[in-house]
Structure 1
Amino acid sequence: MSIPSKTLQAEGTLSAEQVASYAAQFQASPLNQVRMNAVATSGIQGVATNRAALVQMQFTFSNEIETGPVTNQKQSGRCWLFAGLNALRADIAKANHMKPFELSQCYLMFWDKLEKANYFLERILDTLEEPTDSRIVQWLLQAPLQDGGQWDMFVNLVDKYGVVPQYVMPETFHSGKSAQMNKLLSQKLRSAAAEIRRRHRAGADTAGLRAFKDEHIGEIYRLLAYFLGQPPTVFDFEYRDKDDLFHRDAGLTPQAFLAKYATIDLHNYVSIINAPTADKPFGRTYTVQYLGNVEGGRDVLYLNVDIETFKQLALAQVLEGEPVWFGCDVGQMSERTQGILDTAVFDYEGALDTSFEMSKADRLDYGESQMTHAMVLTGVNVVDGQPTRWKVENSWGKDAGNDGFFVMSDAWFEAFMYQIVIDKKHLPDTLAEALQQPPIQLKPWDPMGSLA
């Protein structure tokens, strides 16, 4: 059999001739050499930084809310807990004339992980008839126990376990550096999932499988206590108020502390989202399959609205002097050192002579963007009734941004903000009525199923 002298090129294959033409086009422009040298030497952000945008994004605001010291989640993904507790502590401090203080993030982290472990194994029990390689089972196994969460998950924890001051259950090595803890706990849970499915195939009944699950959750509790410490059941609350008067309140449970010192009712708040994709009409409510932490707790619930309504709801709450918990894509157009969130802070298109144009809907549909981080709006600059920039309380410590605070342009708000938590009293009648609809269930892998 003869061997062909030249193999036929398959359609779509990148040929040597094409590559040569690309190289020739690149070399034909002297500016390409300049750009290559600049980016290779200084990095793309150094080359693309827009000084005019840095100057414009000043840290002055017409309306600001008093806050406590900036917190630090360190090397963990607990931003949603930090943001929730930052909003809650502001209410407690204001209502009780207290000096700034912190609530224990480690305390809620412990209960969140224990509850997530139980929630995960319950979902394994739900899906016993699914093949192991089904999309839903593989999605469950992808991250059995991670740090991220959602507003309704925060409410579930506070409802069930209350809160405590930080000194009652302080940070540990692994609360602030959680990767290895999560890896080991996830390994335990995957191992339990494999055994539950094996026992099911061998004919074990539901009661037997659930007994095995409960035993395994006891093991998770023990390991969590090693990593995070054992949660307190009773404690004494001691503090000095703004007049420097000393107070002691002895024998409080975490639930009693919350009931006595917090005035805010978390159940009055609802998650409003702006997801302008074709599959999510505005004015409808949504939930996400298998997104939760506390078995039997409230489901995640979203109400989708247009961006102007979204913005006006956030503005109304800040102007009333109340922080706004929010979820965003913090990695987009973000200058971390100075704490600037602005669509103009980096001119990548000018620096690279190309276009990255995508709509907000396209970024969601095509995997370019989703919620990655939760923070708190604590101020706004208003000109002629319209916001121009927003003050943001972050949880990355004082070294990031302006003593830990960030400034967000209104353009960035429109482009990369996806969720705000709003007191229902701010909703117009049409949205209050829309909130009563049965929610449409989204798949677990929907962009709105991402955890902050």
Structure 2
Amino acid sequence: MSFVINADQLKDFKQDYANRQETQILERTVAKNGVKAASFDWHAIADNDQHFSIDLATGDVADQKQSGRCWLFAALNTMRHNMQNRFNLPDDFELSQSYAFFWDKFEKANWFYENIIQTADLDIDDRKVAWLLDAPQSDGGQWDMLCALIEKYGVVPKSAQPETYNSSRSNEINAVLNNQLRHDAVILRQLVHEQASESQINATRKEMLNTVYRMLAYAFGEPVQTFDFEYRTKKDKQFHRDSNLTPVAFFDKYVGWDLSEYVSIIQAPTKDKAYHKTYTIEMLGNVVGGRQVKHLNLSMTELKELAIKQLQNGESVWFGSDVVKYSETKLGILALNTYGYEDLFDTKLTMSKADMLDYHQSMMDHAMVLTGVDLVDGKPAKWKVENSWGPKVGEKGYFVMSDEWMDQYVYQIVVNKKYLSDELKADQAQEPIVLKPWDPMGTLA
């Protein structure tokens, strides 16, 4: 049944518009200033001040610049926070995001080839094949994907592998690399269709990876294999040098985390995802043979309790959210009352969190770090957030997130298993239910 807009209906719409007392004022205001400026509620500033009952000292904020590496920045930031406390490192110390970026793109190329070969018997317009070809690789990722990289390649300080033009502005290398991967997909699918031997396919794939390695080395510099770690302590200004380290040895000595102890908790209240069950996503990952993406789904109350426990113990918390919703970037505010869209347009926009996920209104698109929380009578009122957009936004790069905003738009945290109860540890140990590749819990931050 079709509904065709006709002249009588348009006349009614125009009459309703003319009859509204506020029409002319709002038309001038919104047309001149934009929707956000016209609907901004200044009360959000007073409601979300930068004072927290738990506030971790975490140093200077990093800057991912024109790249989609937030998940790498956020995860490496949680590690550097711990290093800064243990080794009295200066506030501007960072782990190399460029080093991890190189290996992520290299491994993602191999991951793409793996999935192209596995799906080669499907039609080219099959949804899975189309999903793979839509974005052969991108800048985004999830916590478990970084763990897979570190377990294989370790980490290095930023001084050992600094930023390049392409790590800070990744659109150019992404365009060329995805062109290369789609070009290679044609060849790999054809080899499968021609029933080429496994050894022939692997030889072709090796040559393809050789090309990818060369492209990435030109863009990011070839990954460092050994290096000297030199630093001067923050408080007493003592100089230290540790020579001839490998990336894996550096991680073991200076980070020293057992990454298997850190687990992903999601908050997905959709009907297809029961609480206290674990989930993974088909074809989501980066390192073939590496760590699997795995999420334990809990209620928001349980998720917050775990985040607070970790903060109370002096450890920051990696989290993923839909950062663009109701956020004021310059002021660094994430709050539901930041913009009064419903009041401005005299309409209803509110959806449940489950409906927002199911109807594509919201999904995780950005990872940041919880570094504080304001507890009032034991309950969180607002949260301190370390972003990776440099010091010129928020309070020197730090944002304030209201607890109500967290309820609606935070979808994932990572915590140490020691904060889980025995019952939750048993839940987390379950074999994961496999979700479809395009499930919203598989989106990349």
Tell me, yes or no, whether TM beats 0.5. Answer: yes
* Cα RMSD (Å): 1.0
Q: C-alpha offsets along residues 39-93 of structure 1, whole Å, 9 cap, x if unaligned?
A: 1011111111111111111011111111121100000000000001100111112
Question: Which of 391, 395, 414 is matched with 2:388 structurally?
Answer: 395
Residue 152 (str. 1) matches residue 144 (str. 2): yes
Aligned AA (1:424): K
Task: Output one character per residue of 1:286-309: Cα deviation in whole Å (capped at 9) or x when no partner.
Answer: 000000000001110000011111
Q: Does 1:350 align with 2:343?
A: yes
Q: Residue in 1 aligned with 2:293?
A: 300
- Are 1:74 and 2:74 matched, yes or no? no
* Residue from 264, 272, 287 that aligns with 1:271: 264
Q: Which moved more, 1:169-178 or 1:22-31?
A: 22-31
Which one-letter code corresponds to 2:208 in the other structure?
H
Q: Partner amino acid for 2:327?
A: S
Could you say which structure has the larger radius of gyration?
Answer: 1
2:429 alignment partner, one of 414, 436, 444 = 436
Q: Within 1, Cα distance between the matches of 2:431 and 2:251?
A: 31
The worse-fitting range, judged by mean Cα deviation, of 49-58 and 108-117 is 49-58
Residue type of the alignment partner of 2:155: V
Is the Cα contact below 8 Å between 1:114 and 1:221 reproduced in 2? yes
* 1:398-409 alignment, distance < 5 Å: 398-409=391-402
Q: Which residue of 2 aligns with 1:7?
A: none
Give yes or no for the alignment of 1:36 onto 2:22: no
Task: Tell me: CA distance 1:138–1:60, structure 2 relative to 1, closer, same or farther (3 Å).
Answer: same
Superposed CA deviations along residues 175-217 of structure 1, whole A, max 9, x for unmatched, are: 0100111010000000000011122223322221121111100
| Contact kept? 2:270, 2:357, Cα under 8 Å | yes
Matched, 1:86 2:77: yes
Q: Distance in 1 between matches of 2:434 and 2:301?
A: 25
Contact 2:365 2:444 in 1 (8 A): yes
The structure 1 residue matched to 2:165, chosen from 173, 183, 190, is: 173
Q: For residues 437 and 410 of structure 2, what CA distance do their matches in structure 1 show?
A: 20
Match status 1:95 vs 2:86? yes
Farther-moved stretch of structure 1 (62-71 vs 72-81): 62-71
Q: What's the TM-score once normalised by structure 2's chain length?
A: 0.98
Q: Which moved more, 1:208-217 or 1:331-340?
A: 208-217
How many percent of aligned residue pairs carry the same amino acid? Answer: 48
| Divergent runs of 4+, >3 A | none
Q: Is the 8 A contact 2:282 2:434 kept in 1?
A: yes
Is 1:54 matched up with 2:45? yes
- C-alpha contact 2:111 2:286 (8 A) present in aligned 1: yes
Secondary structure at the residue paired with 1:232? coil
Q: Which amino acid aligns with 2:29?
A: A
The count of residues paired between Structure 1 and Structure 2 equals 443
Equivalent residue in structure 1 for 2:410, among 413, 417, 434: 417
Kept in 1, the 8 Å contact 2:417–2:425? The answer is yes
Q: Tell me which amino acid in the other structure corresponds to 2:187.
A: E
Residue 283 of structure 1 aligns to a residue whose secondary structure is coil
TM-aligned CA distance change 1:11 to 1:219, over 3 Å:
closer
Unmatched segments (≥5 aa) in structure 1: 1-9
Task: Tell whether the 8 Å contact from 1:395 to 1:404 is kept in structure 2 after alignment.
Answer: yes
CA contact (8 A) 1:95 1:262 kept: no
CA distance in 2, matches of 1:57, 1:211: 58
Residue 35 of structure 1 contacts residue 352 of structure 1 at CA under 8 Å; is this kept in 2?
Answer: no
Give the distance between the partners of 1:394 and 1:182, measured in 2 at CA. Answer: 23
State the 1:11 CA deviation. 3.8
Structure 2 residue identity aligned to 1:207: S
Aligned match for 1:226, one of 214, 218, 228: 218
Q: Which whole-Å CA distance do the structure 2 matches of 1:360 and 1:417 have between them?
A: 10
**What 5-or-longer segments of structure 2 have no aligned partner?**
none
Task: Give, as a single letter, the amino acid of the residue that structure 1 aligns with 2:181.
Answer: L
CA deviation string 1:380-424 (max 9, x = no partner): 111110111100000000111111110100001111000000111
Match of 1:115 among 107, 118, 121: 107
Alpha-carbon shift at residue 99 of structure 1 (Å): 2.1
How far apart are 1:275 and its partner, in Å?
Answer: 0.3
Q: Residue 91 of structure 1 contacts residue 264 of structure 1 at CA under 8 Å; is this kept in 2?
A: no
Q: Distance in 1 between the 2:194 and 2:47 partners?
A: 67
How far does the alpha carbon of each residue in 1:105-124 deviate from its partner, in whole angstroms, 9 at most, with x for none?
A: 00000000000000000111
AA of the residue aligned to 2:390: G
In structure 1, the partner of 2:196 is: 204
> Distance in 1 between the 2:51 and 2:424 partners?
33
After superposition, residues 348-387 of structure 1 pair within 5 angstroms as 348-387=341-380
* Distance in 1 between residues matched to 2:444 and 2:413, nearest whole Å: 14
Deviation at 1:33, TM superposition (A): 2.1
Residue 4 of structure 2 corresponds to 13
Match of 2:314 in 1: 321
SS at match of 1:395: coil
In the alignment, the residues of structure 2 paired with residue 323 and residue 335 of structure 1 have an alpha-carbon distance, to the nearest angstrom, of 23
Amino acid of the structure 2 residue aligned with 1:50: D
Question: Partner of 1:281: helix, strand, or coil?
Answer: coil
Q: Which residue of 2 aligns with 1:6?
A: none
SS in 2 for 1:168: coil
Would you say the 8 A contact 2:64–2:388 is kept in 1? yes
